[in-house]
Structure 1
Amino acid sequence: MTKLPFLSIDPSTREVSLDAADPAFYSDPNRTYAALHAACPTFFWKEQKRWFFTGYDHVNALLRDRRFGRQILHIATREELGMPEPLEHTRHFDLAESKSLLELEPPEHTRLRTMVNRAFVSRHVERLKPEVEALANRLIDGFADKKEVELLSAFADIIPVTIIARMIGIPEEMGPQLLAWSHDYVKMYMFGRTREDELAADKASKEFADYVRTVIAERRASPRDDLLTHMITTEHKGQHLTEEELISTTIVLLNAGHEATVHQIGNSVRVILESGIDPATLFADEKATERTVEESLRICAPVHIFQRYALEETEVDGVSLKRGDVISLVLAAANLDPEKFEDPLVFRPERSEAPNLSFGAGIHFCIGAPLARLELNVVLPLLFKRLPGLRIARPPVVKDVYHFHGLEALHLAWD
C-alpha cells in the first residue's frame, strides 16, 4: 500500500486520520483514495467525526437509498436529535438553503424538481449547442493570437455562467457578480470553514437573494421566454412556487450551473495534456469526444463529497447508524474503485466499465448534468482544434478547497 505522510489508517478499526488542509492531499487526492480502497473503503475519518464510504457499489446504492436523505428535520426535531440551533450570523444562507433542490426531500423536492426539470432535459439542452459553440469561439478569438492564456479566467469561468444566466433570464453583464456571490456562497460547504467564511457566505446569500427578488418582480410584470418566467407561471397540482422557493431554486441553479463545470473544464484540459495522448485521437468524432469527457469526469471529478442523514436506525457495511447520523459519500473515490475500474488512476478514455458517479444518482442526480455534458463536449474539442500544440506553460496549482476539486489557474501556451 502507498505510504503517505499526511495519512494514518488503522484497518482493524477502520479509523483514518487525514488533514484535508494539507496541500499534499488536496493537490492529488486520488493517491489517498487508492490507499483507502486498499485498506478500508469504508472508514471513520477522525477529524471529521463521521463515517465515509468510497466503494462504488456502496456509494451508488446509498445515493438511491431512501433510508437516507439530504435533510432530517422533516421527520425529527432538533431537540430529539441533539442538534444545535441555527447560527444567527448565517440566517440568510440558511434561508436560501431551506428551499434548495439540493437539500429537500419528497414531496417538496418532487414538486420543485418537476417544475424545473423540463428546461434541463437533453432534448431542450441540445438546442443550446450553437450558442455554446459561438461563445467558445468568440472567447478563443480573443486570445488565439497571443499564444498564451490563463484558461480559467479567460474561458472556463465565462462559458458556464453566461449560458446558465441566459437560460434563467439574468443579464450577461451580471456574470462577474454572480461568480463572486457563488464563490463566497459555496465556502459554507467546505471543511474547516472559518467564521469569516460564514459571514462572507451570509452576505453573499442576502445580496444574491435581494437581486433575484428584483428580477422575479420584473418577470411577473413583464414575462419572457426564459426559465425564471417558466418557474413563475408553471403550476404543479394546482400549486405555484412561492417567492422563497423561486429565490432558492434560482440561486442553486446559478451556483450549480457553473461552479462545478468551471472546475471540470480546467481539470479535463489538464488531465488530457498530462496524459500525453494525441488530442486528435481523443476528439476524432462525437463518440470519441463523449468517451474522453466521461473519462475526465471519472478521474478528476469536480465535486468530491455528498452527505446524507440516516432517516432511521440502520446498518451499512458493518457500520451501525442511528437516526440523525450523518454519513459522507465520496463520489470521486467511488470513480476510482479498483473493483470496478482496471488501473483506476490511469486516464483511459476507451474504457467500457461502470458509469462514473460524478453527477450523483437517485432523486438528487444533478439536474444540470445534460447541460454540463453538452458544454464539455463542445468546448474541449474546440480548444484543442483551435489551439494546435496546446501545452501547460506553468505547473498548475490546485485550489485549497477540498470538496470542490479545481485549479487556481491553468496557464497554457501553443504553437
Structure 2
Amino acid sequence: MTRSALFSIDAATCRLSLNGRDPAFYGNPNAVYAALHTQCPTFYWEEQKQWFFIGYDHVNGLLRDRRFGRQILHVATREELGLPQPLPHLKNFDLAEQYSLLELEPPEHTRLRTLVNRAFVSRHVERMKPEIAELANRLIDGFEKDGEVELLSAFADVIPVTMIARMIGIPEEMGPQLLKWSHAYVRMYMFGRTEADEYAADQAAREFSDYVKTVIRERRANPRDDLLTHMITTEHKGQFLSEDELVSTTIVLLNAGHEATVHQIGNSVRVILESGYPPAELFRDESATERTVEETLRICAPVHIFDRWCLEPAEIDGISFQRGDKVAMILAAANLDPKKFSDPLAFKPDRNEAPNLSFGAGIHFCIGAPLARLELNLVLPILFRRLPGLKLKRTPEVKDVYHFHGLDKLELTW
C-alpha cells in the first residue's frame, strides 16, 4: 500500500483512492499518473466506482475494441441494465446529446460522420491557413504594445471558436456567447458536479439548440458555402439529417471544435515557457514545429478521460467485464507510459517514439484533429516570433474541470 497526502494505491488489489476535485491532483495529474504506471496501470478508482486503464497499449486497444462502445441503450434497456431513468431537469441537455457524434455507435455514427468528415480532412482545412495566420497576427496587434496579456481571453479563446464558427456558418460575433454556452455545457463532465451545474448545462443546451435551429431555418431559406448548408442538403444512402441530428451535430462540432484547442494553446505555451528551450529553436522550421506541437500534446493533453460501455462479455488485463459495465481510459496518462516513452515526464521536442493518443483512436478518433493541429502549428510560432521576450507573469492555475485539462488564466509579459 502506497499512501501520500493526496492518494493511496493498493497495488495488490489494484485499488486507487483519490479525490479528483483536489487542486493538488488536477493541478498536476502527471505526477499521480507516473505513480500509477509504476504500481498498477489498470486500477479501480474507489471514488468513481469504475475501472480505469492508463497503459498505452490497453488504452489504444480499448479505443478500437468494438466490444466496447460509447452507447449501450441500442443493445439493452435501462431496466435490463439497472440504469436510472433520465433526470427531468436534464431533458434539454439529453436531447442535444442524443445524436452527438461522440455518443453514437454504428450505423448512426457512420452516417453522421460520413456527412461531416469531408469538411475536416487535411486538404480542406489547409485552405484555412491564411485566415488563421491573419487572425492570430491581428489579435497580437491588439495587445503587443501593452507588454502584458492574459492570453486565454485575448488570443486562445478567440482563434478556435472563430475558425469553427466560420467553417460551420455561424456568425463569428456569436463567439463570446458560444464560449459561455460551451463552458456551462462541459461542466456536466466534471467530477462531483452539482445540481446547479446540471441546471446551468440544461439551460445552455436549450438556448444553444434554439439558436442553432434559427440558423438552420435561415440556411434552408438561403443556402451558403458552409458546413451547415452541406449537412442540411447532402444525403447519405437516400437519407437527410433530421433537425435533431443537425442540432446535435452542430453543437458537438462547435464545442469540440474549440474547447480542447483553447486549452491546448494555453497548455502548450506554459510547457514551452517552463521548459527552458529557446522558442526560436523549437519553431525553427515546419518539421521542428510539428515535433514541438506533438510533444506538447503528449505531455499536457487537453482531454483526459473517455468512457466506454461494455457491449458484450470481455476480459482486459485480467479484469472481466459484463455487458453494461462502464470502463474509463485516461488518454493523457497513456501518453506517459514508460514502456512507450523514455523519461515520460520530461518535455523532449525531438522525441521519435509512439504517437500520442490525445485525439483518441478508432472510429471515434477526433474528427477535428487536422484543424486543431493546423491551428497549433500556425499560431504558436506566430506568437513566439511576434513576442520574443515572452515569459510567465505568475504561475498559472489549472481549471477545475478535470476531464478537460486547461488553465483558468495565463498571464504573460514581454
TM-score for the superposition, normalised by structure 2: 0.99
In 2, the alpha carbon distance for the partners of 1:346 and 1:4 equals 23
Q: Which residue of 1 aligns with 2:356?
A: 356
**Distance in 2 between the 1:57 and 1:349 partners?**
22
- CA drift at 1:357: 0.2
Give the match's secondary structure for 2:309. Answer: strand
Quick check: 1:26–1:402 contact (8 Å CA) kept in 2? yes
1:271 aligns with 2:274: no
Who is 2:221 aligned against? Answer: 221
Shift of 1:266: 0.2
1:259 maps onto 2:264 in alignment: no
Q: What is the alpha-carbon distance in structure 1 between the residues aligned to residue 389 and residue 142 of structure 2?
A: 18
The match for 1:124 is: 124
In structure 1, C-alpha distance between the alignment counterparts of 2:14 and 2:137, rounded to whole Å = 50
Measure the CA separation in 2 of the matches of 1:165 and 1:2: 48
Alignment of 1:153 onto 2:153: yes
SS at match of 2:408: strand
Instruction: Determine the structure 1 residue equivalent to 2:67.
Output: 67
Instruction: Give unmatched runs, 5+ long, in structure 2.
Output: none
Q: Does 1:175 align with 2:164?
A: no
1:242-257 alignment runs, 5 A limit: 242-257=242-257
SS of corresponding position for 1:303: coil
SS of the counterpart of 1:397? coil
Aligned counterparts of 1:253 and 1:281: Cα–Cα separation in 2:
34
Find the aligned partners of 2:214 and 2:44 in 1 and give their Cα distance: 45
Percent sequence identity over aligned pairs:
76
Q: 1:129-148 to 2 correspondence within 5 Å?
A: 129-148=129-148
Letter in 1 for 2:136: A
**Match of 2:166?**
166
Distance 1:335 1:183 in 2: 26
Determine the structure 1 residue equivalent to 2:210.
Answer: 210
Aligned equivalents of 1:44, 1:100: Cα separation in 2? 28
Alignment of 1:1-80 (within 5 A): 4-80=4-80
Contact kept? 1:265, 1:376, Cα under 8 Å: yes
Counterpart-to-counterpart distance in 1, 2:242 and 2:386: 46
CA distance in 2, matches of 1:370, 1:162: 16
Question: For residues 226 and 378 of structure 1, what CA distance do their matches in structure 2 show?
Answer: 23
In the TM superposition, residue 5 of structure 1 has moved relative to its aligned partner by 1.4
How far apart, CA to CA, are the structure 2 residues paired with 1:152 and 1:230? 32
Residue type matched to 2:110 in 1?
T
Cα drift, residue 4 of structure 1: 3.5
Contact 2:189-2:401 at 8 Å conserved across structures: no
Distance 1:313 1:57 in 2: 20
User: Displacement, 1:3?
Assistant: 6.1
2:368 — aligned with what? 368
User: For 1:78 and 1:386, how far apart are their aligned partners in 2?
Assistant: 55
**What amino acid is the match of 1:388?**
P
1:203 Cα deviation (Å)?
Answer: 0.2
* 1:180-195 → structure 2 map (5 Å cutoff): 180-195=180-195
Distance in 2 between residues matched to 1:209 and 1:257, nearest whole Å: 17
Partner of 2:106: 106
Whether 1:314 and 2:308 are equivalent positions in the alignment is no
> Does the 8 Å contact 2:7/2:19 carry over to 1?
yes
Between the aligned partners of 2:211 and 2:4, the Cα distance in structure 1 is 46
Structure-2 residue corresponding to 1:303: 303
* TM superposition shift of 1:300: 0.1
Separation (CA, whole Å) in 2 of partners of 1:132 and 1:3:
47
The AA in structure 2 aligned to 1:67 is: R
Deviation at 1:313, TM superposition (A): 1.2
Q: Distance in 1 between matches of 2:270 and 2:395?
A: 10
Matched residue, 2:331 = 331
Q: Distance in 2 between matches of 1:83 and 1:21?
A: 25
**SS of equivalent to 2:155:** helix
In structure 2, the partner of 1:241 is 241
- In the alignment, the residues of structure 2 paired with residue 189 and residue 26 of structure 1 have an alpha-carbon distance, to the nearest angstrom, of 14
| Map of 1:232 onto structure 2 | 232
Amino acid at match of 1:211: Y
Return the offset for 1:388. 1.1
Partners of 2:2 and 2:251 in 1: CA distance: 41
Matches of 1:75 and 1:189, distance apart in 2? 24
Q: Distance in 2 between matches of 1:4 and 1:413?
A: 36
Aligned length: 414
Query: Residue 71 of structure 1 contacts residue 105 of structure 1 at CA under 8 Å; is this kept in 2?
Result: yes
Residues 3/281 of structure 1: CA separation in 2 closer, same or farther (3 Å cut): farther
Aligned amino acid, residue 110 of structure 1: T
Query: What SS is found at the alignment partner of 1:8?
Result: strand
What secondary structure is seen at the aligned counterpart in 2 of 1:262? helix
1:135 maps to a residue whose letter is L
Q: Deviations over 1:300-323 (max 9, x none)?
A: 000000000000111110111110
- For residues 276-332 of structure 1, what are the alpha-carbon distances to aligned partners after superposition, in whole Å with 9 as ceiling and x for unaligned? 001111000000000000000000000000000000111110111110000000000
Is the CA contact 2:209–2:247 (under 8 Å) kept in the aligned structure 1?
yes
Q: Once superposed, which parts of structure 1, at least 4 consecutive aligned residues long, lie more than 2 Å away?
A: 1-4
Deviation at 1:2, TM superposition (A): 8.7
Distance (Å, rounded) in 1 between the aligned partners of 2:139 and 2:21: 34
Output the CA distance in 2 between the equivalents of 1:293 and 1:314.
36
Q: Which residue identity lines up with residue 241 of structure 2 in the other structure?
A: L
How many Å apart are 1:23 and its aligned residue?
0.8
Cα distance between partner residues in 1 of 2:10 and 2:302:
28
**What is the distance in 2 between the residues matched to 1:314 and 1:374?**
38
Q: Distance in 2 between matches of 1:170 and 1:301?
A: 28
Q: What whole-Å deviation, never above 9, does each CA across 1:199-240 have from its counterpart, x for those lacking one?
A: 000000000000000000000000000000000001100111
Question: Distance between the aligned counterparts of 2:183 and 2:2, measured in 1?
Answer: 34
Question: What SS does structure 1 have at the residue aligned with 2:184?
Answer: helix
Going from structure 1 to structure 2, the CA distance change for 1:59 and 1:398 (only over 3 Å counts) comes to same
Contact 1:2–1:35 (8 Å) recurs in 2: no
Q: Partners of 1:257 and 1:270 in 2: how far apart?
A: 21
Please give the TM-score of this superposition, normalised by the length of structure 1. 0.99
